[in-house]
Chains A and B, each alone.
Chain A
Amino acid sequence: MKSKTSRANAMKKAIAASLAILILLAFTGCGTSSGSAATESQRQEDASATSGSLAEAKEKLNDLYQQENQIFADHQNAWNKAFGFMSKNMDDDTLNENYADFLANIIESNKDSFSEEEYATLSKDVETIRGIEEEIAKLEKEIAASDSSGSSSSNSADATGVFQGFKGKDLDGNDVDESLFAQNKVTVVNFWFSGCKPCVEELSKLNELNDEIKKMGGEVVGINTDTLDDNQDGIKEAKEILKAQGASYKNLTVDSDSTVGKYAGNIMAFPTTVLVDKDGNIIGEPFLGGINDQSNYEQLMKQIQSALDQN
């Protein structure tokens, strides 16, 4: 009898305790998850807003093309006559010029073949088309811009301008600022830490890479996350490792609450290597994993090459 009541008591206590824990968990769970849900939905809204305007722009573009076609249809006879002269005049230069100019040239050079009335309508149409072409060019630019910003923001979030206004020191305590990036066509920034075996093992390869791309106007720079905030113990260890691995390229320390420091703090996998342009913007996607693997090295080289070619 006694054991039964004590059992029931123990059960009640345990149930009460577990309920309390569950309620607590439910609250904390709600707090964090609803918070994140809010930001998530906001992000989606942003995305849909940009994609909405994008869709709008594309529709407008389509509409403009239709308007042009309508013009050709309205004065079909005259335009067909004009189109008849085209095939003979095609070369690269004419393809690259403004479409309205291109049409105007054709009409102008074959002026004699058109009646006066035809010539007048064609000239008028060309001017209308010129207006439309201008709008098309503007829209295409917009779409291209929002496309590229969309893809970079969706993948690496707020990562592009990380090295703008850069301030840090090299491991000997000399100040380094954004001019480091400005003087290079492309800067390869490698994030690593002293206890990371793959990071340490690729240091000599990075040194080779530095020697190689120096000739082409590039540079390799390392940031060891153990050296952030001028941590002297970390700097000493990093220097020893760099020396042991034969790496003589520049390594930098930054403040952990600077944009670069925060970027480094958010890296989930080391080593991570990024390419930075003259203005301190990260180009393309961050590169994960050691480059002492041949295929990784080639892939990184390809990225560097394309960055160099763009400059």
Chain B
Amino acid sequence: MDKKSNKNFLVRFRGWFQAAATLLTNPHIPNLFKGKLYQGKVKTICVPGLNCYSCPAATGACPIGAFQAVVGSSKFKFTYYITGFFILLGVLLGRFICGFLCPFGWFQDLLHKIPGKKLSTAKLKPLRYLKYVILVVFVILLPALATNSLGMGDPFFCKYICPQGVLEGAIPLSLANSGIRGALGHLFTFKFTILVLVIILSILFYRPFCKWICPLGAIYSLFNKVSFLKIRVDPEKCVDCQKCSHACKMDVNVVDTPNHPECIRCGACMKACPTNAICYHYGFSSRKQADKK
């Protein structure tokens, strides 16, 4: 298989891949108008991206939501199925999922296309570590430890932070279902404010939620260095022009750290490279390349 064709095709049609992934994770479109959730067997399977279980159109479960639900239930202390799912997808794809498969990533990509003043996040790099704090505190520790007398915890990230839940779950459900509309309270107002904030920031910055908040991105980012899917810079072709690093909207220095945890594999660097020195690489053989270097 020729890697260059692979790269060009994926990168050129990235928007279509994102659209298709969003549609495939949310195929039950009529439910949006009925205000009902699909509750069939497939719903027990996790989808790779951040996609709310409570979206009427959703066919699967959000892995972050499922993780909190299991960890916070009185019956289980830890979830091996979902942790295994994270490791599997992390090793197979890493943050390629963020760039190509995540519906909320696509949402932010589209928002960033709205013309207007665009700001750089290069100076805000320390905020990147916030997402690891959110992962540890809101997804793992609080649901597992802040429990009632029966050992039941709340899904803290879903309940208090996640804007995707408002966008895909609360808004369409409350529009179509008068009972749910009547039950909206302060928590909805609070989370709706977060969503509005994320939308505004997404227009100004590139993918602020992915960079600073997303616990799912935080998990996948840990696997970027060991994932089968990598980005490789050919040192013989590279002319050190640094065009790639300037093209990178995730603020990664591509030549030095092509497999940086922040890289979402969007391929903007490949498009920018004047000598075709950057390409995707899939499989084990990357070590040889590194050795050669």
Contact = CB atoms under 8 A, between A and B. Distances in A.
Interface of A: 3, 6-7, 10-11, 14, 18, 21, 25, 28-29, 32-33, 35-36, 40, 155-156, 195, 197, 200-201, 241, 244-245, 265-266, 268-269, 272, 285-286, 288-289
Contact of A288 (B5, B37, B179): B179
Interface in B177-203: 177-180, 182-183, 185
Residue of B2, B179, B185 with most chain A CB atoms under a 10 A cut-off: B179
A241 B69 CA distance: 18
Interface in B134-176: 148-150, 152-154, 173
B73 interface: yes
24 contacts: A3-B4, A6-B5, A7-B2, A7-B5, A10-B2, A11-B5, A11-B9, A14-B9, A25-B27, A28-B27, A32-B29, A32-B30, A35-B30, A195-B73, A195-B74, A244-B149, A244-B150, A268-B173, A269-B183, A285-B179, A286-B179, A288-B180, A288-B182, A289-B183
B148 A201 contact: yes
B178 A285 contact: yes
Chain B contact residues (Cβ within 8 angstroms of A): what range?
Answer: 35 or more
B242 interface: no
Contact of A21 (B5, B20, B173, B177): B20
A197 B154 contact: yes
B183 A268 contact: no
Given A200-B152, A285-B179, A268 B9 contact: no
B23 interface: yes
Contact of A197 (B2, B5, B6, B152): B152
Given A3-B4, A244-B149, 18 more contacts: A6-B2, A10-B1, A10-B5, A11-B5, A21-B20, A32-B30, A33-B30, A35-B30, A36-B34, A197-B72, A197-B148, A244-B150, A245-B150, A268-B37, A268-B180, A269-B180, A269-B183, A289-B183
The main secondary structure of chain A at its interface with chain B is helix
Interface of B: 1-2, 4-6, 8-9, 16, 20, 23, 27, 29-30, 33-37, 39, 69, 72-75, 148-150, 152-154, 173, 177-180, 182-183, 185
B150 A3 contact: no
Contacts of B1: 10
A29 B9 contact: no
Given A197-B153, A244-B149, A285 B4 contact: no
Q: Which 4 A-B pairs have the closest CB atoms?
A: A7-B5, A288-B183, A36-B30, A197-B152
A272 B179 CA distance: 9
A7 B4 CA distance: 8
Nearest to A286: B179
Nearest to A293: B185
Contact of B2 (A3, A33, A40): A3
A32 to B, nearest CB: 6
Nearest to A245: B150
Contacts of B29: 29, 32-33
Contacts of A241: 150
A14 B29 CA distance: 26
Contacts of A201: 148
B15 to A, nearest CB: 13
A28 to B, nearest CB: 8
Contacts of B39: 265
Nearest to A240: B150
A162 to B, nearest CB: 14
Residue of A201, A241, A268 with most chain B CB atoms under a 10 A cut-off: A268
B5 A285 contact: no
Given A7-B8, A269-B183, A36 B33 contact: yes
Contacts of A25: 23, 27
A285 B36 contact: no
A147 to B, nearest CB: 17
Contacts of A36: 30, 33-34
Nearest to B173: A268
B121 to A, nearest CB: 33
B179 A269 contact: yes
B223 to A, nearest CB: 26
A7 B8 CA distance: 9
Residue of A3, A33, A40, A269 with most chain B CB atoms under a 10 A cut-off: A269
B172 to A, nearest CB: 11
Nearest to B178: A155
Nearest to A267: B179
Nearest to B147: A197
Contact of B6 (A10, A244, A269, A286): A10
A88 B46 CA distance: 79
A238 to B, nearest CB: 12
Contacts of B72: 197
A33 B27 CA distance: 11
